[in-house]
Every structure is written in C-alpha cells, then in structure tokens.
Amino acid sequence: MTRFLTLFCVLALLTLAGCASTFEHGGKRQAGSIVDYLYPDAKEAPKMEPTVTHLRLPVRVGIAFVPGAGHGAGPEEAAKTQLLERVKGAFTQYDYIGSIEVIPSAYLRPRGGFANLDQVARMFNLDVIALVSYDQVRFNDTNRLAVLYWTLVGAYLIKGDQYDVQTMVDAAVFDVRSRKLLFRAPGTSQVKGSATLAGYGKEVRGAQADGYAQAVEQMIPQLQTRLAGFKERARSDPGIQVERRDGRQGAGGIGWAAALLLMVVAWAIGRRHA
C-alpha cells in the first residue's frame, strides 16, 4: 500500500511538472522586417541614384503590413486589417490624399522585394505605399505565487505568470515609381501583466493584440507630423516635384520685365506731371 501511495505521488508530481513545462518560458519574437522584404538577397547596400520623385496630387496610397518571416508571424489578418483601417481613418481628411487602400497580407509575398511592391501598386493603382514593419518581443516569467500551481487549483486561480510584451511598429512610406523612401514614423508600446497558468495563452494573445494596437495608435500622430514635415520639405527639395493631377499651384507672378515696364511708366508720368 505504501509503495502504491509513493508511486501515485511521484506520478502526480511528474504530471503536474509536465503541465508546467508545456508552457514556454523565456520569450518569443514576432517580426516583419522591411529590409528583409524589400532587399531579400542583398549582400551589399543598394546603390543610391539621384532621381527626382514626381508626386501627382492627390496621391493614391496603399497601406500594408510587411509580410513576416514565418507562418503566423505578426498580428492576425483581421487584426491587421482593423489596425490599418484605423490608420486609414486618420488620413482621410487630407485633400492631397486621393484614396487609401488597405492591402491584405495575401498580396505581399515574404521576401518579395520591389518587384512584388510594383505588382501590388499596379494591381491597386497606387502611387505611394506605406509599409508597416513590426517587431514584437514577448518575455515570460513566473513570480513567487507560481509555486501554488502545484495545488492544481492554483493553476486556475493564482496569477503566477508574468508577461511583458514590447512592440515596435514603423510605417515607411515609399514612392513606388522612384522606389524612394519619402518619410517614416515609428510607434512603440509596452504591455505588462500577469495571468493564471490556465488562462495564460488567452491573456498573452490579448496583450500582444493590445501591444500592436497601442503602438499603431502612437504611430498615427507621428505619421501625421512627418507628413506635415514632408509637405514642407517637398516645396524646397529639388528632388521632389509635386504637381496636381486635376489642378495646380498658381502664382500671381507679374515678372521682372512687366514690373520694370510699370516702373518706367510710373517714372515717366511722375516726371511729366510732378
């Protein structure tokens, strides 16, 4: 009987230990790198050729998440669309942005490069594309309360697991024709929390989704500031030429010749009738 009880205790311990060990400790990373996507096989830095970027206003903009390296990388497709719709909503009031298309991930090939970007731009009739890259790191730790997981009930009631989700998103806006980076804006977030062993997976998935949402929320005003800055830069930068698709910038320019002619007339009249 004693031997049977001992065997039972050992098996119970091993089973509980097995429960705890199914749960991954340490951390996990999800990343969609813009460099990996645009320059998949680059062994050296791309050569910069001095080209003039022609932007025809109102510009047709596409916005997409950079495809991740592996299966299931990054937020889920529905969440991606939701986040991009939020970015789209923040930019609809600008008259120089004609349309914003949210591009589903299925249209972007991992490591697709500019060839893939050109295909998407042609498919969606885009002038400019905003690529949102992401890097999310999740750290997992257990606290002292985790010892109560051994009670089995504790695994459902005691929040013995801690997580720390750090997210960075970065929107890089490219002119498709010249392949030039126009401007970029980052957004970061940190979501911390604790969970029970049983509810850990659900809590962490929620924290990861919150991490992306908060980072995107932080990115939107940055993107608006950079856009305003770019608008000013476009006026002075000879490498960027902006013209209206259905309208134009006009100047009331009388010109030096006409001004001098008027000056001569004024001088002649003044001299005769002074």
Given a contact cutoff of 8 angstroms between Cβ atoms, the answer to whether 88 and 102 are in contact is yes
Residues 39-68 that bind another protein (CB under 8 A): 57
Cβ proximity to another protein, 21 vs 249, nearer residue:
249
Which structure tokens are listed for 26?
Answer: 């340490």
Q: Which stretch binds another protein (CB under 8 A): 84-92, 170-178, 217-225, 239-247?
A: 239-247
Residue 262 engages another protein in binding (rule: CB under 8 A): yes
Cβ proximity to another protein, 45 vs 251, nearer residue:
251
Cβ proximity to another protein, 122 vs 244, nearer residue:
244
Which residue, among 199, 223, 178, 192, has the nearest Cα to 84 in the 3D structure?
223
Residue 255 engages another protein in binding (rule: CB under 8 A): yes
- Determine the Cα–Cα distance for residues 119 and 116; give it in Å rounded to an integer: 5
Cβ proximity to another protein, 192 vs 231, nearer residue:
231
- Please state whether beta strands 26-32 and 128-142 pair in parallel, antiparallel, or not at all (unpaired): antiparallel
- Determine the Cα–Cα distance for residues 181 and 156; give it in Å rounded to an integer: 50
Q: Which of 41, 44, 49, 246 binds another protein (CB under 8 A)?
A: 246
Number of neighbouring beta carbons within 10 Å of residue 240: 18
Q: Which of 43, 47, 71, 273 binds another protein (CB under 8 A)?
A: 273
Which residue, among 175, 59, 58, 69, has the nearest Cα to 118 in the 3D structure?
175
Residue 270 engages another protein in binding (rule: CB under 8 A): yes
Which structure tokens are listed for 55?
Answer: 């932007």
- Supply the minimum distance, in Å, between the C-beta of residue 173 and another protein: 20
Residue 237 engages another protein in binding (rule: CB under 8 A): no
Residues 108-127 that bind another protein (CB under 8 A): none
Q: What are phi and psi of 136, to 5 degrees?
A: -120, 125
Residue 258 engages another protein in binding (rule: CB under 8 A): yes
> Pattern of binders to another protein over 61-100, x per CB under 8 A?
----------------------------------x-----
Which structure tokens are listed for 156?
Answer: 């459902």
Residue 2 engages another protein in binding (rule: CB under 8 A): no
Residue 248 engages another protein in binding (rule: CB under 8 A): yes
Q: What are phi and psi of 210, to 5 degrees?
A: -60, -40
Q: Which stretch binds another protein (CB under 8 A): 5-13, 157-165, 177-185, 261-269?
A: 261-269
3-state SS class at 66? coil
DSSP for 105-123, please give it: GGGS-TT-HHHHHHHHHHH
What residue ranges bind another protein (CB under 8 A)? 57, 95, 231-232, 235-236, 241-244, 246-266, 268-270, 272-273
